[in-house]
Amino acid sequence: MKKSVMVGLMALMISACGSEPKDTEVVMDGAEQSQQLEAEAARAFGITPDEYSKKLNAKLTGTDLASEPLDTTELYEDDVTDVFIKDYANKINFVGGVNKNGELESLEYILPISEDMTEVLESLLLLTSASASILDPTVSEKTALETLKNMLDKITSAYFDTKDHQREVINLGNSTYLSTLSEMGLRFTIEPAEDK
């Protein structure tokens, strides 16, 4: 009898596993949507793209990047995150993620690899250190510049010595900084820290 019960259970499990998946649409009520928006806001920087771009453009006054002001008025909409994109002349592609509450939730800088990256890394450090102090006013631009320069120096020297993929993550203030470097290029991301 135990054997027949086991065979029956096995048959039931097999038939359940082999059944076709059903398409289901998840519909959230007002309370669930509100909770989702609150969760998104908790993982954002608490600044709109417009506020961010005005502050960044002001910080870049008098630099080589001043001639290319950031304009975040054109958002590309997606189901989860909207984005704005800026392509700088020095080959830095900049993507800002915006949650459905209209707040900035991530910044990503993407640039190609070359043997002499000095000039483009200087521009990247200028953008990221200015952004660090905008996103978290408790972090000075000087501290951000030193910390992020050390981070980028570490992965670029390791990459050019070994040609192996490099990855570095640091927390500075209320933000997490992730940098990866491979033959595909350099990707530098700023997001709110998990424990923000």
Question: How much is the pLDDT for 17?
Answer: 43
Q: Residues 6 or more apart from 171 whose CB is under 8 A from it?
A: 177, 193
Q: Does residue 25 belong to any structural domain of this protein? A: no
| pLDDT value of position 195 | 66
Please check whether residue 92 lies inside any domain of the structure. yes
The token duo for 168 is: 């570095």
- Is 13 a domain residue? no
Tell whether 10 is covered by a domain: no
pLDDT attached to residue 171 = 95
Provide the domain limits for residue 90: 46-192
* Residue of 160 and 11 predicted with greater confidence: 160
Q: Is residue 6 part of a domain?
A: no
- What digits encode the pLDDT tens for the residues 125-177? 999 999 999 999 999 999 999 999 999 999 999 999 999 999 999 999 999 99
Amino acid identity for residue 193 in this structure: A
Give me the sheet containing 104-111, strands edge to edge: 82-87, 93-98, 104-111, 185-192, 175-182, 166-172
Place of tokens 């304009």: 71
Q: Tell me: pLDDT of 3 over 60.
A: no
Distances in Å between the Cα of 23 and the Cα atoms of 20, 26, 174 are 10, 10, 40
Number of domains in the chain: 1
The per-residue pLDDT for 182 is 95
pLDDT of 26 > 90? The answer is no
In a domain, 17, yes or no: no
Q: Does residue 116 lie in a domain region?
A: yes
Q: Which residue is listed with tokens 């417009």?
A: 50
Residue 188 resides in a domain: yes
